[in-house]
A and B are shown apart, each in its own frame.
Chain A
Amino acid sequence: MAVLTYIQAITQAMKEEMQQNEKVFVLGEDVGVKGGVFKATEGLIEEFGEERVIDTPLAESAIAGVGIGAAMYGMRPVAEMQFADFIMPAVNQIISEAAKIRYRSNNDWHCPIVIRAPYGGGVHGGLYHSQSVEAVFANQPGLKIVMPSSPSDAKGLLKAAIRDEDPVLFFEHKRGYRLLKEDVSEADDILPIGQAAVKKEGSDVTIITYGLCVHFAQQAAEKLESEGVTTEILDLRTVYPLDQEAIIAAASKTGKVLLVTEDNKEGSIISEVSAIINEHCLFDLDAPVRRLAAPEVPAMPFAPNLEKEFMMNPEKIERELRDLASF
């Protein structure tokens, strides 16, 4: 065991997979010589050479398109979008090609690509370096979207994503890169995609969330613990397709559900979670299902005070938690 940051765990996962399977390669803007703008691919070009760690032109559609083509021919590409905000030029490739090829070709072709992208705000990044884009892809059957909340999860899930036979979008919270640290097993542990995890048991309120917000939720829950309010925290880990069974169990357990995301509220991942709860848990509900999310504003503002207002934090969660507990 060694203490790794979230980003070190991600590097570690890619390194191990590249060592084990020579078909695995990474491509993206500045992933090679520079080692990535966040240093996620640091050291890989030295170990695996420029044939397997490819610096690409500034063309996200090409990064996705090249990766998709290579994947269909049997390679295991791990494509990096420098920021999730920049994935937009590649949306056509991802949704129209990667997501649909298995279905369209009646199983003759499939596309085992991983597209990694740092998302999220709170880093003073402004409009184009702070977005959460998961909801854009979360109604495209054929895609999987993984958003880990801890270094261990990041490592285990990225390895699983690379070994997955179908396209996986892997969104990493950039503020979590160096904020989150923990002991990460050196073993070749694979975490199954599609399974949520109970991060904390409690009986008063259930929080269902994912990504960095899991961390905030844990802080808020800890604070209320001393007041006798115990919180169940479910980390979705895979936000598409959702782990319905785990969501139903967690919501039914307390009957009071708080859903948290950093993304804009309407049409977000947690909106879908809410729908699942309403379809399955009516007679266990003790309070209206609540969504705590960013306001309906196009993107994370640049001004620090507005960014703070927009960004999720433990205080906002604590306030809602307290209110729901007393309902």
Chain B
Amino acid sequence: MATEAIYMPQLGESVTEGTISQWLVKEGDYIEKYDPIAEVMTDKVNAEVPSTFSGYIKEIISKENDTVEVGTLICYIDTNEEASGASPIVHDPQNQTTEETNEQDQSMKHRYSPAVMRIAQENNIDLSTVQGTGKHGRITRKDMEHVVQQPKTNTDKAPNETDATDISKEEAIEEYTPPTFKRRSIEANPGDREIPVTGLRRTIAQNMVRSTTEIPHAWMMIEVDVTNLVAYRNAEKDRFKENEGYNLSYFAFFLNAVAKALKKFPELNSCWAGDKIIQRNDINLSVAVAHGHELYVPVIKNVDEKSIKGIAKEIHQLSQKARTNTLTTEDMEGGTFTVNNTGSFGSVESMGVINYPQSAILQVESIVKRPVIIDDMFAARDMVNLCLSLDHRVLDGVICGDFMSHVKSILENISSETTPIY
């Protein structure tokens, strides 16, 4: 059973309204399709309104002697037929039928007009890949014009979803694309859990694949003695927290040191652009912030212009935003170099994947107390490993070694004089 609506029909070409002179049925009556249900008087004709369904009259909406416009709901019928769908029925019989045939009938899919054939040949387009929007699935000239306007990499290169969304034809540059291999699909065993890959997870996956397949990564690690830094920070942190209301993290000092070093070695603050390398003027550091199962990489802009307090404040604000899911696209844009606080998970050594299209990423590992030999004597020192992943197309060992040494020297010489908090 389904409830269907009956509307005031168009009883003549220029007729816009009609008066229901008499209902021929009452609620609860059973009627056959095409049986008259009401008499209607218009300025042109007197006519009977036929039922468009078989069923029981459920409710009569328009009363006798009501003058109603064409298309107005006049009554409901409970039909014998199955419900035609969850969505409410739109009263537009003409459009409805054409849309239905459109969806089902694809008979024109392989009938090509001269214009479509010509555009396909001129642009080397495989017509079987084009979605037709014309009647019965026909590919229209406009469909072809849309295909031609899309970036070419889409059609003749391995599909890459991120490419399609953010590169227009003029911007696209030929780049090595690794071959793709087909494999058997991986099936879940009984008891396994299947987690659909959606949203952020998919984006992370795509970015990682892209970065590792496109960028030739090289790695390097140095260890830094941060005993001074630890002492300095420990001396200041309680007062800082009291005054500012948030933590004075080690990470702020590391970001400060990296920004200073990038200023001296702008080669690392750059990206590969195919036929050129672009050195960024701004030093905007991407920092990884985890929240639950999600990983965000917001950006702290112009770190070289900010004090330790300024950096600490932004770290605090961004992690708050990540926790409350209020990070905006603006917060995530414009990074030129990434510093990753892997130490917060207890890691002492890691190989980061470069945040595409940047050219390097620095991993700050855990600060651990270790015995170190200084002047042939053992000393207990606070040690930290810094791991750098670099794009070997842009950077080489020498420059990165210099950069890392510089970071090391800044960090090892931190004091209230060299690095004031305010």
Q: Could you tell me which A residues sit within 8 Å of B by CB distance? A: 203-204, 254-256, 282-287, 326-327
Instruction: Flag whether B370 is at the interface (Cβ < 8 A).
Output: no
Query: Which B residues are CB-close (under 8 A) to A284?
Result: 114-115, 118, 141
Q: Does B134 lie within 8 Å of A255, measured CB to CB?
A: no
Q: Does B233 contact A (CB under 8 A)?
A: no
Query: Which A residues are CB-close (under 8 A) to B138?
Result: 327
Contact present for B115 and A286 (CB under 8 Å): yes
Not counting A283-B115, A284-B114, A286-B142, a sample of 19 additional A-B residue pairs whose C-beta atoms are within 8 angstroms of each other reads A203-B142, A254-B141, A255-B113, A255-B115, A256-B141, A283-B114, A283-B118, A284-B115, A285-B115, A286-B113, A286-B116, A286-B140, A286-B141, A287-B113, A326-B98, A326-B134, A327-B134, A327-B135, A327-B138
B113 touches A285 (CB 8 A): yes
Contacts of B116 in A (CB 8 A): 286
Taken together as a complex, chains A and B put the C-alpha atoms of A285 and B141 apart, in Å, by: 8
How would you classify the secondary structure of chain A's contact residues: helix, strand, loop or mixed? loop
Can you name 24 A-B pairs with beta carbons within 8 Å? A204-B142, A254-B141, A255-B113, A255-B115, A256-B141, A282-B114, A283-B114, A283-B115, A283-B118, A284-B118, A284-B141, A285-B113, A285-B114, A286-B114, A286-B116, A286-B140, A286-B141, A286-B142, A287-B113, A326-B98, A326-B135, A327-B134, A327-B138, A327-B140
Q: Indicate with 1 or 0, residue by residue over B133-173, a CB within 8 angstroms of chain A CB atoms.
A: 01100101110000000000000000000000000000000
Q: How many residues on the B side are at the interface (Cβ–Cβ under 8 A)?
A: 13
The residue of chain B having its C-beta at the shortest distance from the C-beta of A204 within the complex is B142
CB-CB under 8 A from A282, the residues of chain B are 114
Most buried by A among B113, B114, B117, B134: B113
Residues of B within 8 A of A203 (CB): 142
In the complex, which residues of chain B have a beta carbon less than 8 angstroms from the beta carbon of A283?
A: 114-115, 117-118
Chain A nearest CB from B337 CB (Å) reads 46
Chain A contacts for B134, CB-based, 8 A? 326-327
Which residue in chain A gives the minimum CB-CB distance to B140? Answer: A286
Cα separation A217 to B281 with both chains bound (whole Å):
58
Which 9 A-B pairs give the minimum distances between C-beta atoms? A286-B141, A283-B118, A286-B115, A286-B113, A255-B141, A255-B115, A283-B114, A282-B114, A284-B115
Who on chain A is nearest to B136 by CB? A327
Bound-state Cα–Cα, A327 to B133, Å = 9
Please measure, in the bound complex, the distance between the C-alpha atom of A204 and the C-alpha atom of B143, giving whole angstroms.
Answer: 11
Which residue in chain A gives the minimum CB-CB distance to B122? A283
Measured CB to CB, the closest approach of chain B to A319, in angstroms, equals: 10
Q: How far is the CA of A170 from the CA of B115 in the complex (A)?
A: 37
Chain A residues with CB below 8 A from B98, complex form: 326
User: What is the distance, in angstroms, from A251's C-beta to the closest C-beta of chain B?
Assistant: 11
Q: Which residue of chain A has its CB nearest to the CB of B113?
A: A286
State A286–B113 Cα separation when bound (angstroms).
Answer: 5
Q: Mark B233-264, 1 if CB is under 8 A from A, else 0.
A: 00000000000000000000000000000000
- Chain B, Cβ-Cβ closest to A283: B118
Q: Write the chain B residue with the least CB distance to A284.
A: B115
Choose among A203, A255, A327 the residue with the greatest number of B CB atoms under 10 Å from its CB. Answer: A255
Cβ < 8 Å to A, chain B residues 277-293: none
CA distance A204 to B142 in the complex (A): 8
Q: Which of A286, A287, A327 has the most CB of B within 10 A?
A: A286
Chain B residues contacting A254 (CB-CB under 8 Å) are 141
Bound complex: CA of A106 vs CA of B267, how far in Å? Answer: 85
- A327 to B135: give the CA distance in the assembly, Å: 5
Give Cα distance in the complex from A287 to B135, angstroms: 11
Chain A residues within 8 Å of B135, by CB: 326-327
Within 8 A of A (CB), among B64-113: 98, 113
Within the complex, the shortest CB–CB distance from B206 to chain A, in Å, comes to 33
Contact residues in A for B141 (Cβ distance below 8 Å): 254-256, 284, 286
**Which residue on A lies nearest to B95, using beta carbons?**
A322
Report how far A282 CA is from B115 CA in the complex, Å: 7
Proximity bits, B113-133, A CB within 8 Å = 1, else 0: 111111000000000000000
